Structure formats: C-alpha cells, structure tokens
Structure 1
Amino acid sequence: MLARNLTFAALAVAAGLSLTACNGDNGAARSGGSSPSSESSAASSTGGSGSGGSEQGGGKDTAGKSSGGQGTGGQGTDSKTGSGTGAKAGKCRTDDMDITASDSTISGDTEGSVAVTFKNGGGRDCALSGYAGIDLKTNYGNLSAKRSGQGSSPMVLKNGESVSFGISYPLNNTGGSGVKVTGLVVTPPDETKSFSLAWPGGASLPVTDGSGSPVKVFPMGSAGQGGAS
C-alpha cells in the first residue's frame, strides 16, 4: 500500500512538472510571438516618426526657411537677378542686329561724330554691355578705334528696340587729302562676327604722327547723351 501511494505521489509530481513545463512553453511562445510584433511595431512607429516623419518633416521645414524665409541662400537671389537683368537673355548676336550708322556731327564741333545704332530684330530679347569693336577702312589699311574709357552698364535690348553709341574722330581741316576713309566695320560686344557698312562721316582724317588712333568709340547707349561730342 505504501509503495502504491509513493507511486501515485511520484506520478502526481511528474504530472505537475509536465503541466508547469507546458504552461511555461506556452507562455514563452506567446511572449515570443507578441514581443517581436510589438518591437517591430515600436521600431516601425519610431522609425516612421523619427526618420520618415520628424526628420523628413524637419528637412522640409529647414528647406522652407532657408529658401523662403531667409531668401539669401542663393536661389532666391539668383532667380531675382535672373528675371531682372537678362541672365535669362542670351547675348546679342551680329546676325540678329540691324546695324546702321549716321553722321551726328554738330556744326561748330571741333571733332566729327558718327552714331551707330543696333536694332534687335532677332525675335528675342538679348543682352548687351560694354563696347563694340570699331574699325575704319582707310586707304592705308584698317584703323581701330580706341575706347573712351567711360563706364557702361549691362542692358537687355528687347526685341524690336534700338540702342546707339558714338564714334568721334578728328576733322580734316588741313586742306590736304589726309587719310581717306572707305568704310566702317562694327563688331557687337562679346561677338566675333563683324558687319561692314558705309562710313557716313567725313571723307578723310588728318594725317597723324602715328602716336595712337585719333578715333574713339563710346560705350553702348552713349549716343544722344553727349558721349561722342
């Protein structure tokens, strides 16, 4: 009887241990099954608000403040400059210009003057600045005009509009034949292609001692403003 009771007791203990083990495994399985998913959820939630949410949102806020709020990051300034001065307009090409020249000498002046006009006929606005290249064709070869040294500002020449500049030269009052002028060659600023036309000024220049060109060219926009007189 004692042996039988011991057997039952042993069986009861074994059953209890087995039941505890099973309950522990099930608890671990439930814990393990819910833990990864909750960690994954937590990670997903943290990653979404940290990298996808707050970081991206913060990046947009920063970018917005940099370009919109401050307005000094470069893009705002460049775009304002571009729309204001012709950063969007290409340079004026010789082939797009209708180039003419006329005598603008005023009676009583000690020097002669010629006004050269550029009319933009290229179908688009274009940018001009500085000095055009000027050469006078003479019976002694080409004579290049020297720059007057006056400052000039960049400009946008709208399609169909015109701008003029001046050329000054010494009048031949010596009574001699002097240096005969046979033509005018004009090269727009920043261009390499030239345009030839008739010289509308005095028929000749006085002979000089060769110390430098007596012909001067003035910057864009100078004609009619006293630049060539």
Structure 2
Amino acid sequence: MRVHKLTFAALAVVASLSLTACNEEDLTGQGSPSAGSTVSPSAGGSDQGGEQDSAGKSSGGQGPVAGNGSDGNGEIGKCRTDDLDITAADGTIGGDTEGTVAVELKNGGGRDCVLSAYAGVDLETSSGTLSAERTGQQADTSVLKDGESTFFGVTYPINESGGSGVRVTALVVTPPDETKSFSLEWPGSATLPVSDGSGSPVKVGPIGSAGQGGES
C-alpha cells in the first residue's frame, strides 16, 4: 500500500510541473508580438508624414516661384540697348518756332522691361559733338511691354540765319541707365544755327514725353 501512495504522489508532482510550464508558455506567448503584427518603421507615421510634407509643398506651391519679368524673382529688368529698336522721325509741325525729332524706342527683346527718366542724346555735327540738355520735365518709370513702343522728343532751333550754320551728321541715343549707344541718321533740319556758347540749344524730353507725331 505504501508503494501505491508514493507513485500517486510522484504523478501529482509531475502533473503540477507540467501545468506550470504550460501556463508560463501561454503567458510568454501573449506578451510578445507575432511576426505578422510587427510594425515596420518604413510603414509608420514618420515616413508617411514625410511624403505628405513633400506632396504638400508641391501642391501648395511653396518655394520660389518665377515671375514674368527678366529674372527669377519676379522683378522686371531694365531695357537694354540691344533689346530696343531705335528709330527717329521729323515731328516738326508747320509754324513751330523750334524743330522737333520724335525718337521711338520699340521693345524687341522678347520680354517686358523698364524704362525711366531721360535717354542720353548727342548730335554729331561738323563742329563736333553737341549734347542735348534735359528739359527738366518730370520723368516717370514705366514698363515697356514686349513689342510695344514709347517716344521722347528732341527739340532744336531752326536755322533762319541765312548762313550755312552747323551741319548735323548723326543722332546718337543712349537708353536710360545704359552705356551702349545707338547711332542713326538725323531726320531733322540739315543745319543748326551757330551757337553763342551759352549752353546747348538742343533739348531732350523724358521717356514718354512725345507721341509719334512729335511733342505731346
């Protein structure tokens, strides 16, 4: 009888140890995530947020945006001599006490540009270079669109002295804020009266001060 009691006791101990091991295994399994439930960092919110940020910048138009001007920051550049088609025509009206030449500046540079103040004007004559003086009229800044023109006037005294006077050979125009000049044929009277040396008798108006027919 004693042998049977020891056997049952041993079996009870083994069963108890086996049950404890099973419980520990179950608890351990519940505490660790399975391979299927593991969250990969590449699929997490940080990377998705980065994609949204990138998309937001693209669709939201953030960042520098080029304007319609001559440079990438939206500003319109000044008109360069090489961008302008410069011509001149006689704008004198019968009965005027002074002669007038209307100078046309046409924008052919393929972009809008800015013109302001006064152009430089020189007359090449048989007595040397004669620089025109500014009239003193207010000079505004204006945008000259591609393909459009603006005008300014040059006035000069008519030679009524009866003498040969000073022969004009060329008109030299330097656009505002430029150093490169453009020489063209003088369309006004062939001669100017001899100056008394008290200042230039030739005057130049600001950009936009004359129309196609002469002074505005």
Q: CA deviation at 1:184?
A: 0.8
1:150 pairs with one of 120, 135, 138: 138
Structure-2 residue corresponding to 1:16 = 16
Structure with more strand by fraction: 2
Give yes or no for contact 2:80–2:175 (8 Å, CA) kept in 1: yes
Give yes or no for contact 2:151–2:208 (8 Å, CA) kept in 1: yes
Is it true that 1:107 corresponds to 2:106 in the alignment? no
Instruction: Sort the Cα spacing of 1:33 and 1:126 in 2 relative to 1 into closer, same or farther, 3 A.
Output: closer
TM-score normalised to structure 2 length: 0.67
Equivalents in 2 of 1:143, 1:55: separation in Å? 68
> C-alpha root-mean-square deviation of aligned residues, in Å?
4.3
Q: CA deviation at 1:12?
A: 1.5
Equivalents in 1 of 2:127, 2:14: separation in Å? 128
Unaligned runs of 5+ in 1: 68-72
TM-score normalised to structure 1 length: 0.64
Q: CA deviation at 1:190?
A: 4.8
Unaligned runs of 5+ in 2: none
Equivalents in 2 of 1:184, 1:193: separation in Å? 14
Give yes or no for contact 1:102–1:201 (8 Å, CA) kept in 2: yes
Equivalents in 1 of 2:85, 2:48: separation in Å? 59
Identity, in percent, stands at 55
Is it true that 1:56 corresponds to 2:52 in the alignment? yes
Q: CA deviation at 1:207?
A: 1.5
> SS of the residue aligned with 2:104?
strand
1:165-200 Cα distance to aligned partner (Å, 9 max, x none): 211223445566654432211233454432222222
1:139 pairs with one of 122, 126, 129: 126
Structure with more helix by fraction: 1
Instruction: Sort the Cα spacing of 1:21 and 1:173 in 2 relative to 1 into closer, same or farther, 3 A.
Output: same
Instruction: Sort the Cα spacing of 1:227 and 1:147 in 2 relative to 1 into closer, same or farther, 3 A.
Output: farther
Aligned length: 208
Q: CA deviation at 1:136?
A: 1.0
Matches within 5 A, 1:86-125: 94-95=81-82, 97-119=84-106, 124=110
